[in-house]
Structure 1
Amino acid sequence: MDDTEFHRIKRLPPYVFAEVNAMKAKARAAGQDVIDLGMGNPDLPTPPHIVAKLAEVAGNPNTHGYSNSRGIPGLRKAQARYYARRFGVELDPESEIIVTIGSKEGLANLAQAITSPGDIILVPNPSYPIHPYGFIIAGGSIRHIPVPGQTTIDEFMPALDRAVRHSVPKPLALVLNYPSNPTAQVVDLEFYRPVVDYCRKAGIWILSDLAYAEIYFDDVPPPSILQIPGARDIAVEFTSMSKTYSMAGWRIGFAAGNRRLIQALTRIKSYLDYGAFTPVQVAAVAAIDGPQDCVAEARATYRSRRDVLIEGMKGAGWDIPSPPASMFAWAPLPAAFAELGSLAFSKLLLTQANVAVSPGIGFGEYGDHHVRIAMVENKHRIRQAIRNIRAVLADPDKAIDLYQSGLGDNITRLKARA
C-alpha cells in the first residue's frame, strides 16, 4: 500500500530539503568533500560544565525512570528565573511554563491541542516548516502572510489585517518568529505592540518562536513578546536550549505565557510523552543557572563566521545582507541565476561547488528567490566554500550549462572547463 493514501500524509507536500540531502549523501558516498551550510545543526560542542552535570546525574540509577511530562519543577523554576533576568518578565513556573522536548515538538503538540479541522492559522511566509505544517498535520488550514525579507511593522500590519478580513472562519492563531528562521530578521518591542493590541481585540492567539533569542550580533538583544503589557492574555512563547547552549540533540525547549495555552499543552503532552530524560533536564538547569560566558563565546563565534561569509561572498560577486541575528544568512539568488529558482540553484552549488545550502522554496513560495546559508562550519571551511562558489559565479552561463547538461559534478570539473 502507498503511504500517500493516509489523510495527514496527503496534506504534506514533498519535503524539498530531502532532494538536496539525498544529493549531498550521494556526493559524500562518492568521496566528495561537501561543505555543509544547509541544515542549522550547531557544530559547537555543548559546554563542558553542562555535559559534566549530565554525566553526574545519569550515574544515579534513581534518575533512569519516567520523568515529568511537563518538566521537573527545578527546570521550570530555572526558566522563570531566565525570563525575569533577561526580559524582566515574572512567570509562574507552575501555571505559565512547561518543558518541551524541543521547541519544535512543543509547537507541534500545541497545534494538536488547540486546532479543530478547518481552523485557520496565520503564518509568515517564508517560515520554518513546523510553523505551518504543525497545524496542517493537526487538521488546520494556513493563510500565509508574505514576509520575504526585512518586513517593517508598517508593512506587516496591513498584511495581517488583510489576512484576517479575508479569512472564514476567523483565524485561530498567528505564528511569529523573531529572530526569524530563515530570514534572520530581528524586531523590537515597538513591532510587537500593535500586533498584540490587534490580536487581543480580534481574539486571536499568538504563538511566538524565540529560539534564536541569544544568537544576536547587535548591541540590543532581541525582546520577548511577553514584555508587552497584556501579551500573556493571548500569547505563548517557545524557546530552546538547542542554539543557545549547542544542545540541539538534547531536545530541551520551553513554552511560556498564557495559562490556558500552557494548560492545553500540558494536557495533551500527558498523553503523548513522559518528558525528557531527567539527567538532561537537570543538566539544562545547570546551563540556565550556570556561567553564561559560553553563550557569549558562541555568539562571538557566529559573528566572526558571519563577517567572513558576508565579506568573502561580496568579494566573490555575491552581495548578501549581513544578518543581525541567528546562525543563518538569507541570501538573494545572484541575478544571473535568478531564473533557476532556489532549488535548482542549490543543486547547482552542490554539484559544482561542493557546497550545500537550503533552498528558500523549502520555507514557502515567498522564499524562492533566496537560499539560506547556515554558519555551522568553521571559518576555514567557510573560506573554502567561498572559493568554490567564486568559481561558479565567475561564468554563470557556463555554470548553468554544466548543471543543466548534468556535467557539473564538482568544482574540479568546472575549473577544468574554465
Structure 2
Amino acid sequence: MTEVLLIVGLLVAVFVGYNIGGATTGPAFGPAVGANVITKLMAAVLMSVFFFLGAITIGPQVVDTLGRELVHDTGIFTLRSNVAVLFFIGGALFVGNYAGVPASTSMTAVGAIAALGLATGELAWGVLGEIVVWWIVAPIIGFWVAGVVGRYYYPRINEWIAIEGSRGDKQMVTVDRSGIVPRLQFGENADRREITGAFVVIGIGCLMGFSSGTSNIANAIAPIYGTGDIDMIPLILIGSAAVAVGCFTIARRTMETLGNDITNLPLTAAIVVAVISSTIVIGLSWIGIPASFVVIATMSIVGLGWGRATRTTTLSDAARGEEETHVSVGALTAEEEGERSPEIGEEEPEDIPKASDLFDPSTTARVILMQNVVPIISTVGAFLTFRFVPIFGF
C-alpha cells in the first residue's frame, strides 16, 4: 500500500510541476512574446533551463523549509496527506491554466498546506499572516508603480530606449539552425538599440524563470520529500522535467493572455513590466516571503496599460475633475503648454493610444477573478477533505 501511495504521489507531483510550468511561463516571458521579441518555443526553452538552474541551486533550501515554518508539527505530513495536498495544488492550477489565466503557484500551494495545518490545529497563524499581508501589498505596489510610469514617464523612456517590437509575424530574435552550430538571428530592421532592449527583456525573463525555480520547485516536491522516501536531487529532476512539459504545452495559453489579450505590449512596455515585477519579486524573496510573481507581473501589466490608456488628459484636467474634457496636444496654446506636466500628452494626437488598444477591462477582470478563485479552490477543497474525510485520521 505504501508503494502504491508513493507512486500516486509522484504522479500527482508531476501533474503539479506540469501546471507550474504553465502558470509561471506567462508572467516571465509573456511580455517578450507579446512584444514579438521571441517565439513561444524559445520562451519555453529558456524557461525550462533557467527554472532548472534555480531549482538545483537555491531550490533545495526552499524545499527544506517550506513544510517547517507554516505548521507547528511536521508529523502531519504523512504520505497520504501529502498526496491530497499535491492533488489540490495541481487540480486548482489546472483550472487556471485551462482558462488561460496563470494563477499563483505559491498562493495555491501555501493555501493547501495552510488548510492541512488549520484542519489539524497546527497552523502557524503569525507566519501565514505575514505572508498574506505581503501578497496584498506587493501587487498594489506593482500596479501603481507601473501605472505612474505608464502615465507620466513612458514617452521619455520610449524616446530614450527608442525601440519598438518587431513588426509583422517575424520575431526580433530567432535561432538559425541551418549550420552545424545554431546561431542567433535578428530582425532585418532591428538596430543596435532594439537588439539591446530585446536582450534586456529576455534576460529579465530568464531571471524570473530562475527565481521561479528557486521557490516553485518546492510546491511540487516538498510534500513528497518530507516523507523521506526519495532523495532531493531525483525529485528536483522529476519536478523540473514536469515543469518543462508544461512550458512547452499549456503555457502557450497563459503567454497569449499576458502578452496580447490584456494589453498591447510594445518592447519598451515589456521591459518596464519585467523590471518592475522582477524587482519586487527579488525584494520579497530577499526577506523570505514566498513571492507570488504571477500576480505581481499581471498587475504590473494591468497598471502600465491603464496608465498609458489615461494619458489623453492633463494634470490640470484631472485636478479640476473635468472628466469630459480631453485636450489634444495640437490644441494647446503656448501658455497652456508651459503650465501642463511635460510627461503627459507628449505624443502627437494620432499617436495617442486608445484605451481599448492598451487595456482590456473584460480580460483583466477575468484574470483577476481567476487568480483569486484558484487559490480558494485549493484551500477550501483541502480543508474540507482533511477536516471531514475519516481516512486521514486527523
The bucket for the TM-score relative to the shorter chain is: under 0.3
More helix by share: 2
Tell which has more relative contact order, 1 or 2 (C-alpha 8 A, sep 6+). 2
More strand by share: 1
TM score, norm. by length of structure 2? 0.25
